[in-house]
Structure 1
């Protein structure tokens, strides 16, 4: 099981609940509320990883490397006693939570030091309870939530107290130390005190790029001796890492450098622990609670069988070889083909829409004020049906009434002529068909075709010259681009995988949206989830003003 499979299991549980919900709604009071509570639990599920370390260990740099970003502010200024959490968001922002009595404040991420550092907010004079950082990072999207605790060993005593008080709320602890000054007495005390269930602590020794291989081995052996001497049991897993190496490798798309940084091993083990922990502590418990509800609802017998089959499949599979999906799709995202974080619009549709709009701005004025332009429009039979309505959406009623009488009059004259044709001639429907505007005679169709062709050519040039570029295109235009790549198998293969990724991501956004609404947790809906219904349809069919009814794909 990997992170995506774990999430799909939650979606399947939600689908089972959703199918049985009508029976609960028709049953006694209270049954529906029980269903809604389970929807809410599924919607809120996430894995809280507390990141702890002494000041100047490279803790924030390591979190940047784990999330594949450089946006968390790094510096030499100690933190205050403010807890800073990192969760998924469609865009970057920070929400400063003051607790009761004051509304939250939204700020840019660059302003964060003014609220969480000793320099900007000495001894937390601003009264900040929590700083919630929202980042468009894939590990966060898939269920991780990082908690950056105040540094240990700070001159501000409240910092250490805040960290120790928060740890029991975390699912796991990542203690960050460094090769420059391994494990302090305070760090050992934290591990020995056991604020978490044994086995939930991980130790990252940062900055391994600053020492030789021999020095690295000696220091790691010394840390193991320290842990044994302090009777820290079970001994936490130790990972030798370099946040700086990882960030540089990500920036250079250097797979070998990324591997040498030690981050892949740390991330793979964190993910493996999270999946096993959540599978046993969350999914199993959810299955049991849903089974109890369904068993009390006789009409839900098919859903009960479906649930039991899902439960067997989840808990009879081998758990020893969970793939490192987080390291593959999360922090190393920059090593994968480049594309926007989420599909917002088709690049071809956007260009066509823009150029058609620009053309119609001048066209509507011309046909309203220029007799020759009106005569030409009438001779063409007007615009095609589709673009007639695109024109109508932009034109004023007066402009339409000035421009279109000649079109209607010419059509009326043509129909009268058709009425005089002999019965033994061609069918009257053919005569009428000749009066209707053809797509190849529509001025806007011509503009659209040229814009579409230019946009496709531009994308093709980028795809062929940049082996990491994957464009955002709707399925109608995806087929156009793919048809032109028949002699470029590698680029076509990359395009197919990229499009499949976009479709999967949008499907997951739709399912998350539905789950959060079912659980009455709309406040948790991200921007892309809120727009998933429209984005999904536009990815499938293109923008309605470009690929609407009757449009032929050239």
Structure 2
């Protein structure tokens, strides 16, 4: 098979999966964890106790829980948490204002420290470690070249992972090529939307905006998690 045929096939395969693979791994891990939490909150007393102890999840993951839950399961899961917060505030009502502020601020689950954030962060670390190892040899680089591109944030995170100079050069050139490819598709789409242009819009051009956002911003269901 010629190099051009292999490149065309790789481009077609990558197009079918437009998102960053690290973002995709995090999204799946978070979704699976939230589904597990939903089940455990319904049936496990230790899980309910842990949920109360952590005072729920960060605001971002609480809203993701809402997306996979239903009104009945959410009502049952959140009622004890809301009541616990009510008890906390009532207990603090007689305390000095500065102590109240510190106590409430400390109790609020912050982004990066909630139970789901830890799953998201651990998944990211594992994915980056695997990619860093792949980037150090020719066979691994070929696997990276066949896969969807990383979003810019995860590309930077991978470069920080301690890869060697050859790996860094490969990653930068590979992702530069992907970005130029998407830019060409965006230009093509815009040009063909001109009323004077009768050329048909191809699949790459039609989907270019989605690929561009995935590269620039990462997955919508993933947010940057700072270490605790």
Task: Provide the TM-score with structure 2 as the length reference.
Answer: 0.84
Is 1:446 the counterpart of 2:122? The answer is no
1:524 partner SS:
coil
Q: Deviations over 1:384-403 (max 9, x none)?
A: 11111111111111111110
Could you say which residue in structure 2 is the equivalent of 1:495? 171
Deviation of 1:430 after TM superposition, in Å, equals 2.1
Could you say which residue in structure 1 is the equivalent of 2:154? 477
Provide the rounded CA distance (Å) in 1 between the counterparts of 2:198 and 2:183. 18
Is 1:464 the counterpart of 2:136? The answer is yes
Deviation of 1:348 after TM superposition, in Å, equals 0.6
**1:259-298 matches, cutoff 5 A:** none
Provide the rounded CA distance (Å) in 2 between the counterparts of 1:523 and 1:417. 70
1:367 partner SS:
helix
Provide the rounded CA distance (Å) in 2 between the counterparts of 1:377 and 1:506. 43
RMSD between aligned alpha carbons?
2.8
Could you say which residue in structure 1 is the equivalent of 2:90? 416
Is 1:536 the counterpart of 2:192? The answer is no
Provide the rounded CA distance (Å) in 2 between the counterparts of 1:419 and 1:543. 41
Task: Provide the TM-score with structure 1 as the length reference.
Answer: 0.37
Is 1:391 the counterpart of 2:65? The answer is yes
Change in Cα spacing, 1:350 to 1:508, as seen in structure 2 (3 Å) is: same
Q: Deviations over 1:351-377 (max 9, x none)?
A: 111222222222111112333322221
Change in Cα spacing, 1:422 to 1:358, as seen in structure 2 (3 Å) is: closer
**1:126-165 matches, cutoff 5 A:** 137=8
Provide the rounded CA distance (Å) in 2 between the counterparts of 1:521 and 1:394. 44
Q: Which has the higher contact order (CA 8 A, sep 6+)?
A: 2
Between the two proteins, the alignment pairs up a number of residues equal to 221
CA contact (8 A) 2:25 2:124 kept: yes
1:438 partner SS:
coil
Provide the rounded CA distance (Å) in 1 between the counterparts of 2:217 and 2:112. 22
Q: Which structure carries more strand by proportion?
A: 1
Structure 1 residue corresponding to 2:192, chosen from 486, 504, 516 = 516
Provide the rounded CA distance (Å) in 2 between the counterparts of 1:361 and 1:525. 39
**1:362-381 matches, cutoff 5 A:** 362-381=36-55
Provide the rounded CA distance (Å) in 2 between the counterparts of 1:528 and 1:476. 23
Deviation of 1:516 after TM superposition, in Å, equals 1.6
Deviation of 1:417 after TM superposition, in Å, equals 2.4
Change in Cα spacing, 1:383 to 1:529, as seen in structure 2 (3 Å) is: same
Provide the rounded CA distance (Å) in 1 between the counterparts of 2:83 and 2:127. 38
Provide the rounded CA distance (Å) in 2 between the counterparts of 1:365 and 1:464. 41
CA contact (8 A) 2:25 2:123 kept: yes
Q: Which runs of 5+ in 1 are unaligned?
A: 1-63, 71-135, 139-333
CA contact (8 A) 2:58 2:109 kept: yes
Provide the rounded CA distance (Å) in 2 between the counterparts of 1:522 and 1:553. 49
Provide the rounded CA distance (Å) in 2 between the counterparts of 1:420 and 1:520. 73
Could you say which residue in structure 1 is the equivalent of 2:4? 68
Provide the rounded CA distance (Å) in 1 between the counterparts of 2:122 and 2:65. 18
CA contact (8 A) 2:189 2:201 kept: yes
Change in Cα spacing, 1:402 to 1:521, as seen in structure 2 (3 Å) is: farther
Provide the rounded CA distance (Å) in 1 between the counterparts of 2:173 and 2:12. 12
Q: Which runs of 5+ in 2 are unaligned?
A: none
Change in Cα spacing, 1:403 to 1:376, as seen in structure 2 (3 Å) is: same
Deviation of 1:340 after TM superposition, in Å, equals 5.5
2:136 partner SS:
helix
Higher Rg: 1
Change in Cα spacing, 1:527 to 1:339, as seen in structure 2 (3 Å) is: closer
Provide the rounded CA distance (Å) in 2 between the counterparts of 1:485 and 1:441. 25
Deviation of 1:485 after TM superposition, in Å, equals 3.5
Deviation of 1:441 after TM superposition, in Å, equals 4.2
Q: Deviations over 1:399-432 (max 9, x none)?
A: 1111011111111121222221125xx3543222
Provide the rounded CA distance (Å) in 1 between the counterparts of 2:40 and 2:225. 27
